[in-house]
Amino acid sequence: MQQQINRVATGLEQWRQKEERFSKIFSPSILKDKAFLEQKLSFLVHLQRRYGKSRDPEEQLALQILARQRAQLKKELYPNFFQRLFNSIRQVLAVEKEQRMDKQRSAANLPVLSDKISKAGFGDLRGELSKNLAAGQQHFQLPVSRYVSQNEKMDYKLNFSKDENGHFQLTGYDAALKKEGSRTPGISQHFSSDINALQAQNLLQGRALFKQNAEPGSPVSQGKWIQLDFNDKDAAGQYRVKEFHQGFGYDVQKEISRLNLQKEGFGQDIQKLTESLKNGDRTPVTLQKDGKETKIFLEANPQFKNLTVYDQNHQKTSIARADTVHAQTKTIQVQHKQPVKIQKVNRNRPRR
């Protein structure tokens, strides 16, 4: 089990590092400057307000020590009783103002964050988000679980952190694919927030997906295929990511065209097939001959620059096995849409 981080101690360590930096920039005497000490007192009050409701034993102990330091610093700054009283009233007003601002930020942050999480495929977490935003923490986690088949389950741990503007953002998440009844712990990986829930599932199931280049200043058309390498892990225990850039030469649309599907009048369905494969989906395609239908599944395979084909039992096969040489029509069915017949090009038909 991962050791709980003492957030109070972390905050005090950050202040100690700040003192070291200022001592080098100016001189050690700066630490006794009244303006600097007032900033320190405000910081200690800030830590007390932020983590005062913590139930962690180590953080509670750190808060008790912090309270004594704060009281001692107050006496040093304001030896007069009335000065300390005035400062305490001022701090209470400042804390109340900060709390009001936090509530306003949370109220504005909640619908935006909830909508973003929902669109990323993690479901409606508005209630859980509302509770955690109101708790006043810097970081929090939300667990999400769902079944993706009768015996497979995806577990997610979403990580949220407050940015410099006081708004919470999804900073990343841990995802695990587990099989019921299996003694193995399953496959897990940490993902950044630009990978949605379904894409994480596709990657953990071994498939590749296409990511547009999100770097500022880079052409939007640029991108790369990514796939987890289950035979190689880094020092943190994460699977390394295989990358296939556009210069590698894999063109999924070109591979689709090798199926000899006549695109005229059916471009929208071909486009949906392309988008589905780029998303890392195992996409259903129905082959039809003489009124009989055969269902197959396609996956993008950038490493070998082709399409991986599975039969209706999800066993690897090929188009040649699934179809016959003289098939007249193929029907494409993408993501539970109504099938649309697409004429197969007969390249051996003699010209008139």
**pLDDT score, position 134:** 81
Name the strand (E) or helix (H) holding 95.
helix 81-119
Determine the Cα–Cα distance for residues 207 and 200; give it in Å rounded to an integer.
Answer: 10
**pLDDT score, position 220:** 54
Is the CB of residue 256 less than 8 Å from the CB of residue 271? no
Taking only Cα atoms into account, the Rg of the chain, rounded to an integer number of angstroms, comes to 29
Cα separations (Å) of 247 from 5, 53, 114, 244?
A: 44, 54, 38, 8
Closest among 321, 207, 337 to 270, alpha carbons compared:
337
Determine the Cα–Cα distance for residues 198 and 72; give it in Å rounded to an integer.
Answer: 54
Determine the Cα–Cα distance for residues 177 and 202; give it in Å rounded to an integer.
Answer: 10
The structural domains of the chain, with segments of one domain joined by +, span 7-103, 121-248, 252-343
Determine the Cα–Cα distance for residues 102 and 106; give it in Å rounded to an integer.
Answer: 6
Determine the Cα–Cα distance for residues 29 and 6; give it in Å rounded to an integer.
Answer: 30
Q: What is the mean pLDDT of each run of 10 residues along the chain (352 residues)?
A: 69 91 92 89 84 84 90 84 74 69 73 94 94 83 94 95 85 95 88 96 98 66 91 95 94 85 54 93 80 84 95 85 50 44 41 42
Is the CB of residue 196 less than 8 Å from the CB of residue 121? yes
Q: Provide the 3-class DSSP secondary structure of residue 94.
A: helix
**pLDDT score, position 89:** 78
E-strand ranges in 29-102 read none
**pLDDT score, position 327:** 43
Determine the Cα–Cα distance for residues 193 and 214; give it in Å rounded to an integer.
Answer: 12
Is the CB of residue 160 less than 8 Å from the CB of residue 140? yes
Cα separations (Å) of 338 from 253, 286, 290, 333, 351?
A: 22, 11, 19, 6, 34
**pLDDT score, position 319:** 72
**pLDDT score, position 7:** 82
Determine the Cα–Cα distance for residues 37 and 19; give it in Å rounded to an integer.
Answer: 11
Q: Which residues contact 56 (CB under 8 A, 6 or more apart)?
A: 4, 6
**pLDDT score, position 219:** 55
**pLDDT score, position 90:** 74
Determine the Cα–Cα distance for residues 341 and 261; give it in Å rounded to an integer.
Answer: 10
**pLDDT score, position 349:** 43
Determine the Cα–Cα distance for residues 102 and 100; give it in Å rounded to an integer.
Answer: 5
**pLDDT score, position 337:** 42
**Planar angle of CA 211, 171, 136, nearest 5 degrees:** 160
